[in-house]
Structure 1
């Protein structure tokens, strides 16, 4: 494997820890403040925004990783045969597609919260969309590769 691939894979893997941590914090913050009817402050805005930003950076790193990965050539070699191999299907199709959906949901949550006028509504949107995005991330991590 190339040095570029290994470097990007390492960055993608370590950045994933940051993404999961920040999204977890943003989700818990929104849930707690939704339940306790707290006001929406600049700190809440920053926590949620940071979750959005780190997720989008992870997406960009992931896109680069996808195309420099030695597994990417399996599409041309196997074609639809990629679908018969569970590991290749996970890393070439399920993981990237589901994570793009997760980031889209996080982005929707961020956008929708800005249109809400009450703190409870803002926290509700962030809590829901960020939690679904976080759960999708957790479901699609290729754990068998991540802990190698």
Structure 2
């Protein structure tokens, strides 16, 4: 069970990263191009939120059942803290974008919050590779 969940969690990160990049590109394009905030924008942001939350839930389950967490300090504090912070940023960005006064503000809000979340996630993955050289950024581990 532990290995299946670990592989799912590791592979799911690519879906989260792809959705974050797509949402970020759409948001920057909409913000700078002063484009309307469409139902498609709302849906990609919602899917990004859902996939991010699923990733965090899988990570929390692993946190409590995996023997790896008990061994490395990185897994105990840094990784989980950074990923929860990223999920919070995605959640706040999605919620605030719904209350934006106009379309440009909605796009700007998504761009800022999702962009910060993406930076946190990439930093956490890089830090993971540094903490455990047997893992790689692009390889499913």
The superposition leaves residues 76-107 of structure 1 with CA deviations (integer Å, 9 ceiling, x where unpaired) of xxxxxxxxxxxx22222101101101110111
The question of whether the paired residues in 2 share the 8 Å contact of 1:99 and 1:136 is answered with yes
Q: Is the aligned partner of 1:56 residue 2:53?
A: yes
Look up the match of 2:44: 47
Look up the match of 1:113: 97
Name the Cα RMSD after superposition.
Answer: 1.2
Look up the match of 1:100: 84
**Structure 2 length-normalised TM:** 0.89
Extract structure 1 runs of 4+ deviating beyond 4 A. Answer: none
Q: Which structure has greater helix proportion?
A: 1
State which structure, 1 or 2, has the greater radius of gyration over its C-alpha atoms. 1
Look up the match of 2:108: 124
Unaligned runs of 5+ in 1: 75-87
Cα deviation for residue 117 of structure 1 reads: 2.1
Cα deviation for residue 115 of structure 1 reads: 0.9
The superposition leaves residues 52-93 of structure 1 with CA deviations (integer Å, 9 ceiling, x where unpaired) of 11000000000011111112334xxxxxxxxxxxxx222221
63, 67, 84: which one aligns with 2:64: 67
The question of whether the paired residues in 2 share the 8 Å contact of 1:109 and 1:130 is answered with yes
Look up the match of 2:5: 8
| Whole-Å separation in 2 of the counterparts to 1:50 and 1:73 | 32
How many matched pairs?
A: 132
**Structure 1 length-normalised TM:** 0.85
Unaligned runs of 5+ in 2: none
Tell me the SS of whatever aligns to 2:60: helix
| Whole-Å separation in 2 of the counterparts to 1:89 and 1:28 | 35
